[in-house]
Structure formats: C-alpha cells, structure tokens
Amino acid sequence: MTTLTCEPLAGLIERLYTLAHAATSPALDNLPREERERLMHSKTDYLEFYGLLKDLWLPVSRDTGKLLYLLARNAKARSIVEFGTSFGLSTLHLAAALRDNGGGVLIGSEFEASKVAMAREHMLEAGVGDLVQIRQGDALVTLACDLPESIDLLLLDGAKALYGEVLGLVEPHLKPGALVVADNTDYCPEYLAHVRAPQNGYLSVPFADDIELSMRLG
C-alpha cells in the first residue's frame, strides 16, 4: 500500500473529485465563446479570467493525478514546484509521492485566496501539510524567488499563456533529468515549440490527449 491508496488520502481524493465534478460557474457560462478563447490565450488578462473561474476546481483528471504520482515516485523526487494549485487535487497526488519518497517539499502557487485556504485545509486533512507550501499570488511573482536549489519535477497547470514564462523562472533550478509536466497544452503552441526544440535543452513528447512530458537535459 502507498500513501496515495491508503486513508486518509484515498477517501479524501474521491470526495474532492465528486465535489469538483459538481461545481459550476455561472460567470463562465455567461461568457461569450470568443471572449473565453481570447482570455485563455491572453498574457495580460489571465488574472481576470481565472477570477471568473474561482468556483471551479479545474483539477487534473484522475489518470493524470495517478501519472503525477508515478512520475514523482519513479524520479525519487524530493523537491517539486506546481504552477496552478487550485483546490489541491494535483498537489495531493504529488505530496503523496513525496511522503513515499521519504519527504521533501512541494511549492505551489495559486492567486485565488479562497482556493489557497481550501487547498491548505485539504493538505492538513490528508496529513501532508508538512510537505507543502502554497504561495498566494501571481506565479510570476511568487515563483520568482526562494525556490529549492535543485528541483526534480515541475507541474504546469495554471494560466496556459504563461507556461513559457513560469518555465523560465524555474528552469535555472531544474536538475539534469528533471521532469516537466504540462497539462492542457493544446492552448500553448509557443510553449510546445520551446520544449520540442532540441537546442533549448529538453527531450519532450506528447502524452495522452493534451499533456506534454519533458525532461531537462544536462
């Protein structure tokens, strides 16, 4: 058995996915499709857009959550950075891997204060609060300093237009062989072009429907 498949984490994850699937966002439903697409690709209005989504959980899929756990365990990760914590479902999978790897630190970033508060409660309920730091605010600020010297895994699952910028902040800390997992990359053509270009120092492959899995070469 693992932390991921034992209580209290296993039951908590099931309960949170149920809540996530039931959540609605009238603000998003009333947003014209064209405006939604514009905001998804905007490098300037992302805070406005994700503010409209504050009631939605925006979790990784169940399979992606398991993939994150598997990757972090296999990499023997001890330091992880996450862009886009939301209510913390992906965070719980990664923190479970840290626990089973013997400990470490996960630094997350989330600008919506209500989500930060709930995610912290979920970490405590799961018994992994000692492994997780969730920084509140714009990731371009919160992840610009005070990162671990060596990072084993980076998860990109926040504002899609900022994947390249966030990677640029974390990149100096990525150890050779570090993994970068980017979700919903169908919105990120610039990011995909960057990690797929050999001269930029990554080996990168598409995985599943819209995940890009990259390894930092060194």
Q: What pTM was estimated for this model as a whole?
A: 0.94
pLDDT score, position 26? 84
Kindly give, in sequence order, each residue whose CB lies less than 8 Å from that of residue 189, ignoring residues fewer than 6 positions away: none
Please, what is the average pLDDT of the chain?
94
pLDDT of res. 71: 98
Higher pLDDT, 207 or 1: 207
Average pLDDT (107-119) is 95
Residue 58: per-residue pLDDT: 87
pLDDT band at 51 (very low <50, low <70, confident <90, very high): confident
The answer to whether 202 and 214 have CB atoms below 8 angstroms apart is yes
Instruction: Answer positive or negative: Cα dihedral of 15, 16, 18, 19.
Output: positive
Going across the sheet that includes 211-216, the strands are 132-136, 105-110, 79-83, 151-156, 174-182, 211-216, 202-207
